[in-house]
Amino acid sequence: MTINGYEFDRFLRYDEMVAWLNVIATKYPNLVSIESYGKSHKGRNLMLATITDTTTGAHNTKPAHWIDANIHATEVTGGAAALYIIQDLVEKFNDRDEVVVEALRTRTFYIAPRVNPDGVEDALADRPLFHRSSVRPWPWRDGHLWPGLHPQDIDGDGRILTMRIADPDGGWIEHKQEPRVMVPVGPLGAPKGTTRYRLIQEGLIENYDGFTVDQPRDPAGLDLNRNFPAGWGVGVLGSGDHPLSEPETDSLVRAVKARPNVCGYNAFHTAGGFMLRPSSSKPDSQLPPVDLFFFNEFGKHSTPLTTYPVHSVFEDLTWDKSSVMGGAGDDWAYDHLGVYSWTTEFWDAVFHATGEHSSTDVWYVGPTVEQDLAVCRWSDTHAPDSYVKWYKFDHPQLGKVELGGADAFRVWTNAPSSKLRAEIAAHAEVAVYQAMASPKLEIKHTKAESLGDDVWRVELGVANTGWLGTEVTKLAHDHKLVLPITVEISGATTVGCEARAKVGQLSGRSMFLLNGGAMSDGTPDRLMHSWVVRASRGAEILLRVRHPRCGEVTTTLKLN
């Protein structure tokens, strides 16, 4: 099935995406609703899809899973994946897929497919302009640019490639077998007679002095994924004026906080083919061991489906432990909400070309020459024209240059169109699994016992039938981030007790894995509460159970 003709073989512009979302909500009103949760810097609506079976309850009465994507402007594979999950849920529900029907009957999905619509729109423009994230001028609000190179499509062909300039001091030479691939010049220099090149990303140079080309401190400006409160600091590039200084991050945090039933969080990014978990700024020794155990348990399910290994950002992907990343969305969700949170880095070109995963330092040192060559050859079959033969161009500042090499946006940063659907499909199952791991309250026992003279003892038995505990994480427990379960009785007058009571938290069956193999679980997932009430025989009373994470469940009981 396709909705509005979209086959997930390309990336939608903003207006196309909004139209697609509205069509799916109109076609399936009992499953999908669409709303704006805020405005971008340029005034575009920030769209949120809510997916649940409303015949079994409103979205806020069920535990929920949150997904957002495209906070970084060029990482558009993540946005396509978010849209795919919406469609996959709808399709499988209508096909009566047992797992998805149960997921939408008992859980809610909140999906924000484009956190940064302004930046993505520039990246997908006919003449693209790449930002790291936000388009707002920063740190100078008047739009003043850092001196140096600013990447952009200078020849109007819809691509941002590499410029190479013949230079006897250049650090690169052509690969002997494939001139589209460049090889670094080592300590001994280049073979005699070999042309050396200086490589510069396609673009224009602010304040060019005719000799030097600076790489600006932060040419892309604000990084919205450094603007969240967790670990925020001025020493982190692109972090903004203060935490949540930008409308996109402020709106997102307010939207999530307005939905306390969110029990899990996943941000979609590219690239590398990793499932990244917190923390970005702390070693694992400072995280609760229980939480590390369950992060790894989630990975045992997701890695076989997606091929993506699980990594700690700090332990595995931070090269310099004295200079850590702060202000990321997944750290905020774990540290401030106390839920298991992930950053999915879609697409590993090296893996597709060689069968081996990119190294965890690929963001710092890039691919090896052999990997670059393999991706070039692979792309000729699977992503034609992603590696471009060098061609001459008269640069308005540099004079005669050549343009060519990898179209990184289409083959390194994002999945090419021929591989896009297959790359994102398995992540729908991962999302359902994460959602179904959430806690879920059910009323399992009720009883009314007559004590005479219209006085009754009423019993209520509540169970957490979900996998995780009602607090979700050990960190949430340690920092008291989650309010307790409350039980309430109405329709009768209480005698010597309050109608509404706080009754604590409940473990989920995941904790049975941590009993040392004793095979003796007990009932940490259950609680019993009772009231003494006065009411006439035959009266009907209402019993209500509420919890911030789990929503609300009710039942009625007749006194007889």
- Please name the residue ranges forming H helices in 323-467: 329-332, 349-354, 362-365, 369-382, 408, 420-436
What does the pLDDT average to over 3-9?
87
pTM here is 0.96
Q: What is the mean pLDDT of the chain?
A: 95
Residue range 14-124+222-347+416-436 in CATH 3.40.630.10: yes
pLDDT digits (tens, 9 = 90+) for 27-47: 999 999 999 999 999 999 999
Q: Which pLDDT band holds residue 108 (cuts at 50, 70, 90)?
A: very high
Position 218 scores a pLDDT of 55
Position 146 scores a pLDDT of 83
Cβ atoms of 188 and 157 within 8 Å: the answer is no
Q: Which of 31, 131, 118 is nearest to 74 (CA)?
A: 131
The full set of domain ranges for the chain reads 14-124+222-347+416-436, 148-220+377-410, 441-558
Position 476 scores a pLDDT of 98
Cβ atoms of 85 and 432 within 8 Å: the answer is no
Position 306 scores a pLDDT of 98
What does the pLDDT average to over 326-343?
97
Contacts of 306 by beta carbon, 8 Å cutoff, 6+ apart = 275, 426, 427, 430
pLDDT digits (tens, 9 = 90+) for 190-227: 999 999 999 999 999 999 999 999 887 555 579 999 99
pLDDT digits (tens, 9 = 90+) for 410-461: 999 999 999 999 999 999 999 999 999 999 999 999 999 999 999 999 999 9
Three-state secondary-structure class, residue 269: strand
Position 219 scores a pLDDT of 52
Distance CA 427, CA 419 (A): 14
Cβ atoms of 134 and 224 within 8 Å: the answer is yes
Q: Which pLDDT band holds residue 5 (cuts at 50, 70, 90)?
A: confident
Contacts of 326 by beta carbon, 8 Å cutoff, 6+ apart = 226, 230, 231, 232, 233, 236, 239, 280, 281
Q: Which pLDDT band holds residue 86 (cuts at 50, 70, 90)?
A: very high
Block residue for tokens 């659907």: 421
Q: Which pLDDT band holds residue 2 (cuts at 50, 70, 90)?
A: low
pLDDT digits (tens, 9 = 90+) for 501-549: 999 999 999 999 998 877 888 999 999 999 999 999 999 999 999 999 9
What does the pLDDT average to over 77-86?
98
Q: Which H/E stretch holds residue 443?
A: strand 441-452
What does the pLDDT average to over 242-266?
98
User: Is pLDDT at 408 greater than 90 in this prediction?
Assistant: yes
Fold of 441-558: Immunoglobulin-like (2.60.40)
